[in-house]
Structure 1
Amino acid sequence: MSKVLLVHAKGGPPLGHVLSRAAARAEVHLLALSALPPVVAGSARRLCASVDTPSDAPSRDLVSLIVSRARAVGADAVLTFSEYAVVAVAEACEALGLAGTGRAAALARDKRLMRRTWREHGLPQPEFRSVATESDLYEAAASLPFPLLLKAAWSAGSTAHQIIRSPYEVSAAWRRSREVMAESAQLGYAELHVAEAQGHYVVEQIVTGTASEWFDEPGWGDYVSVEGVVADGTFHPVCLSGRMPTVEPFTERAGITPAPLSQDAQDRVVALARQAVDALGLRDCGTHTEIKLGADGRMWLIETAARFGGAMTVPQIEDVFGLDLVGMLVDHLLGRPVEWPEHALTPDRARGAAGSLVVLAVDGRGEPWHDRKVWDPAAVKDVTLSRGSELSVVAESSLADGEVVPVYDPAAGANTMAGLCLLSATDARTVLRDFEALVDALPRVLPAARPEEVSV
């Protein structure tokens, strides 16, 4: 039986989903660079031929560690679904002579390199500057129109994003972004291979998006993502996911599959995503490309990742289109024939719709909840939704029952999430409306935290 080394770190699709699909295609050996989620630890040991959790991983050369473990287990393929391990796994695959993302992996990870590459190819994106010091940021702010968005070049989950509206906010934004990146690293949400990554930033112009010219009903966010895969250097779009509006500054709240765009609009979005992925020169990997939607058909590239979308994007696609992307990628990396979609799948091919909602302590307008709450999955699942809709709480990606919901921190983004919910419904519009109802209901149905719980 073919053997696969799966490198686990924080982020990406839930580990439980990945393991069950990968184990159905090959003998799986797990190299855990982050602690296994408690709800998955037992099944991981049942599904995997071996589970290695090296305590000294942070102090070791990560590529050498992966290569050594792959050779020890006789791996025929090595893969990861975590943003933070993509570059290390790509370099390990190169050293092992195995199929993988390729030498261009860093272009889909470092936002500075990504934007430079797209600029060289003349692709539409916000004006930007690379930043390494506070002086760099002041210089960039003097050459770009306000408002600006400061991003950590290697971050994920909207962490360390800071909106800068005037020169007077530059120093505070710089200081806070660096603080958040240091905090994220302590939590395990940071690049695992590039040691100097925490010092790399990009600042860019905030472009004005609009959803009304792209969607037939209100409530949608002004950007979409194109989910896809690169196989032997050829990009295969799978489908589009729509979004709820972000929470300030640009923290993602929900992704919904499929995105209910017209065929013409979907074709134009996919064409731009193809240009973006092709420009990066990726070889064998999942892809997730976010695109901002503007007036008069304008679009801007936000970013492309050399891995499948996070949260529940992969399970959503399986639920809606019947495609097991994890299993298909494993098969491809092992050299087995895989039939990827010839074109991006459209809503008329979908079996209903599905979405994932990140629970943040803010209401539908993005305003903080008035008081602190305790996480209670049973209360979440009791919220009344549309007939036929099914809601579940993803325990692996949520607080434990009874934990106090964190206060939403705009700079920390998804680091302050309380939980992750998965919803299936008859169509995308119903998912959107049910998520709006759920967001409104949560501060009412979740139990209030006791003073002694909040002070801990």
Structure 2
Amino acid sequence: MTPISERTADSTAETAAAPEAFVLTGAFWVVCRNTRYLDELSARGLKILLITPESYRETALARMADPAHPAALIDDVAFVDGALDHEGSFTSSVIASAQAWRQRYRIVGAYAVGETLVEPTGLLADALGLSGPGLRATRACRSKYLQRWYLDEFSPASVVLPAGRREELDAEAVGYPAVLKPATRHSSSGVVTVAGADELRAHLAGYPGHETLLVEEKVAGQEYSVESLVQSGKVVFASVTRKETTESHAQSFVELAHSVPGTCDGAEETLLEANQRMLERLAFADGIAHSEWRTGADGRPYLMEVAARTPGDGLLVLYHLATGAPLEPEIVRIALGEPAAYPVPGRYARQVYLEHESGTLGDVTVDWPGVEPVWVGDGGMWPAIEPGGEDDAPALRAVLVLKDRGSELGPLLSSDDRAVSFVIDAPTPRELDELERRVREAITVTVRKDAAHGG
């Protein structure tokens, strides 16, 4: 029998001779929508390894076999089982896949493109000595109640309701209005405002029994996010995004607009300083952080949540339009331990999601010279949206239809319910606001109603 020391030496030699590879993790359609990651890694000659949920198997294999699709750049894929509302459920599958790859490749970098696999990606990076946010950051960023635990300084008053212990909550003692949210979901799924004890008890009964929930003080105030590039624990770039949500007229918190850079009504310095302290408290080492904040009536910044991955929706596009430079190459450089930098915005960009009636999506038209709606469907590829010059005239860059014709449209309860979006940019905030008004008037969304929708 070969001694363990000799087998270990042989394995180390084989790994050193293996091809260099980079692991991307997340929902398949999110990875493909951010094609610059694939292009950047392929141009470096790295093997691209993808870890994605099992539900994407059929679609992913078909797209990878299509030479014309960006997914053809992916060299190997592992499909993992789990569920977002079950904490840690993906971890064993991810580690099993990475363990097999470690025998065939020399893994030099890893990055979580989407929310789904942030925590196991952090474990992978830690074990292999790769650049990453760090174990505390990746764990806490996937758990809203751990964020409240570690980041009490920035948190609204909250109560954690572990699975099986909801009956212990004294609903009469909660300050209202309050916010009820699941601890591990994303895209605003399951997050609602409750006005009183009876309404809180009614909503509590609607969540699966295994989910951990939070009941929190509702903070009234403008919502923002802060996007930060962090390297070796130092912030090398940070910028504030202004957000609008359905909260102004509904119980939900679905995002309806992002503006980069955000007009902050004097709050920018306070937000950036709080964001800096938050990252330090999480011991955030390397990567991109996307934190969401509200400013209270007293001017205090309250943290809603923080993610250790690429910001969602079209925020990467907006930063490209606002600065003229894509973020993805810098994120890859950080993951590979190379020096990174990013310019400050010199232009104003905005993505708007249109609200719609309930019914069946019939058509979307836009009365705008040179612009036609692009139908990307659920999880489809977005078109390339390139920046103009810093002083160019205000521009409508794209109108995106995120659902297929014939899709059933209902209330906006999560980000996945949105159907139509547009992207604009301009030299000044005033011109951006005027452009948004004109584009809204130019877009027509036709929704057919039937008996089920009051038609």
Tell me the TM-score range normalised by the shorter chain.
Answer: 0.7 to 0.9
Alignment partner, residue 69 of structure 2: 43
Which one of 199, 214, 227 corresponds to residue 169 of structure 1?
199
* SS across alignment from 2:303: strand
User: What amino acid maps onto 1:376 in structure 2?
Assistant: V
Which one of 95, 114, 118 corresponds to residue 63 of structure 1?
95
User: What amino acid maps onto 2:141 in structure 1?
Assistant: A
Alignment partner, residue 259 of structure 1: 262
Deviation of the 1:245 alpha carbon: 4.0
Is 1:4 aligned to 2:22, yes or no? yes
CA contact (8 A) 2:63 2:71 kept: no
Alignment partner, residue 159 of structure 1: 189
CA contact (8 A) 1:78 1:93 kept: yes
Q: Structure 2 matches for 1:404-419, cutoff 5 A?
A: 404-410=407-413, 413-419=414-420
Q: Structure 2 matches for 1:191-206, cutoff 5 A?
A: 199-206=211-218
Is 1:81 aligned to 2:113, yes or no? yes
Deviation of the 1:340 alpha carbon: 5.1
Alignment partner, residue 285 of structure 2: 283
Alignment partner, residue 143 of structure 2: 110
Q: Take 2:154 and 2:107, find their aligned partners in 1: how far apart are those partners? A: 40
Which one of 361, 373, 381 corresponds to residue 373 of structure 1?
361
User: What amino acid maps onto 2:277 in structure 1?
Assistant: Q
Question: Over residues 159-208 of structure 1, what are the superposed CA-to-partner deviations in whole Å (9 max), with x where a residue is unaligned?
Answer: 101222111112321133439xxxxxxxxxxxxxxxxxx61211101022
More strand by share: 2
CA contact (8 A) 2:38 2:48 kept: no
With the length of structure 1 as denominator, give the TM-score of the two structures.
0.76
Deviation of the 1:295 alpha carbon: 2.8
Aligned CA-pair RMSD: 3.4
Q: Take 1:17 and 1:431, find their aligned partners in 2: how far apart are those partners? A: 27
Which one of 16, 31, 35 corresponds to residue 16 of structure 1?
35
Alignment partner, residue 449 of structure 1: 448
User: What amino acid maps onto 1:423 in structure 2?
Assistant: I
CA contact (8 A) 1:332 1:338 kept: yes
CA contact (8 A) 2:352 2:422 kept: yes
Q: Take 1:103 and 1:47, find their aligned partners in 2: how far apart are those partners? A: 29
User: What amino acid maps onto 2:25 in structure 1?
Assistant: V
Unaligned runs of 5+ in 2: 1-18, 84-89, 374-391
Unaligned runs of 5+ in 1: 180-197, 210-221, 362-368
CA contact (8 A) 1:374 1:405 kept: no
* SS across alignment from 2:270: helix
Q: Structure 2 matches for 1:199-238, cutoff 5 A?
A: 199-209=211-221, 222-238=222-238
Is 1:132 aligned to 2:131, yes or no? no
Question: Over residues 123-166 of structure 1, what are the superposed CA-to-partner deviations in whole Å (9 max), with x where a residue is unaligned?
Answer: 23210011124753662533331111111111111110122211
Q: Take 2:365 and 2:107, find their aligned partners in 1: how far apart are those partners? A: 39
* SS across alignment from 2:246: coil
Alignment partner, residue 381 of structure 2: none
CA contact (8 A) 1:391 1:423 kept: yes
Q: How many residues were matched structurally?
A: 397
Q: Using CA pairs below 8 Å that are at least 6 residues apart, which structure has the higher relative contact order?
A: 1
CA gap 1:296/1:302 in 2 versus in 1, 3 angstroms: same
Alignment partner, residue 46 of structure 2: 27
Q: Structure 2 matches for 1:241-320, cutoff 5 A?
A: 241-247=241-247, 248=250, 249-261=252-264, 265-320=267-322
Alignment partner, residue 341 of structure 2: 339
With the length of structure 2 as denominator, give the TM-score of the two structures.
0.76
Which one of 303, 324, 327 corresponds to residue 326 of structure 2?
324
CA gap 1:392/1:259 in 2 versus in 1, 3 angstroms: same
Q: Take 2:445 and 2:321, find their aligned partners in 1: how far apart are those partners? A: 28
Percent identity between the aligned chains? 18
CA gap 1:254/1:72 in 2 versus in 1, 3 angstroms: farther
Deviation of the 1:4 alpha carbon: 1.6
When structure 1 is superposed on structure 2, of 315-324 and 142-151 the one drifting more is 315-324
Choose 1 or 2 for highest CA Rg: 2
Deviation of the 1:277 alpha carbon: 1.5
Deviation of the 1:5 alpha carbon: 1.8
More helix by share: 1
Q: Take 1:245 and 1:323, find their aligned partners in 2: how far apart are those partners? A: 27
Q: Take 2:393 and 2:331, find their aligned partners in 1: how far apart are those partners? A: 35
Which one of 115, 119, 128 corresponds to residue 96 of structure 1?
128
CA gap 1:436/1:90 in 2 versus in 1, 3 angstroms: farther
CA gap 1:237/1:51 in 2 versus in 1, 3 angstroms: same
CA gap 1:81/1:431 in 2 versus in 1, 3 angstroms: farther
CA gap 1:63/1:453 in 2 versus in 1, 3 angstroms: farther
Deviation of the 1:33 alpha carbon: 1.2
CA gap 1:338/1:91 in 2 versus in 1, 3 angstroms: same
Alignment partner, residue 384 of structure 2: none
